[in-house]
Amino acid sequence: MQTKGVPNYFGVQRFGRGGDNIAAARRMFAGRRVPRAQLFNAVLARRVERANWNRALDGELWALSGSRAWFGPEPFDALLEQRLAAFDIAPSDPLWGRGPCPAGTACAQLEHAAIAEYPDIAGGLDAAGLEHARRALRLDLRGMSWHWHGDAALELGFTLPAG
């Protein structure tokens, strides 16, 4: 976890008690953050299942650490590999919005397949006019520490970035 990071899922608090915010979002799209989080998590879950959430796919778009900026797609080369290993950049997934998906080939195919499971949410976000944005797929756990409490409980400590 310390050397590879962890998947950057949106937390359960974003979805409301018992996931009720998803149903409410489908009815009225109030706030628009919850539906975007649902689509993001669906794409991230596919990448976690395929063990590529922290690696480059063909056509990857890169999130710049410490900002909301992103770039790509561009060929994965030694420089991008170094930046990825140093947590300067991370693979990204969509915060769904209008317009074509800017990801290339394999990355776009995976994103579209996951989002196709939620046509009502994707269509509602498109109709609402939100601009496409990106979010990093992994978190860099800073200041990570751990302590065993007996042989059955492990306590982890770390700092999370904003967002």
Q: Which residue has the tokens 């799209």?
A: 29
What residues form DSSP beta bridges with 148?
A: 154
Measure CA 69 to chain center.
Answer: 14
The verdict on pTM exceeding 0.85 is: no
Domains of the chain (ranges, CATH numbers):
6-159 (3.30.2340.10)
Buried b (16+ CB within 10 A) or exposed e, 30-42: eebebbbbbbbbb
Tell me the pLDDT tens digit for each residue of 73-111: 999 999 999 999 999 999 999 999 888 889 999 999 999
CA atoms of 72 and 47, how far apart (whole Å): 18
Mean pLDDT of the chain: 87
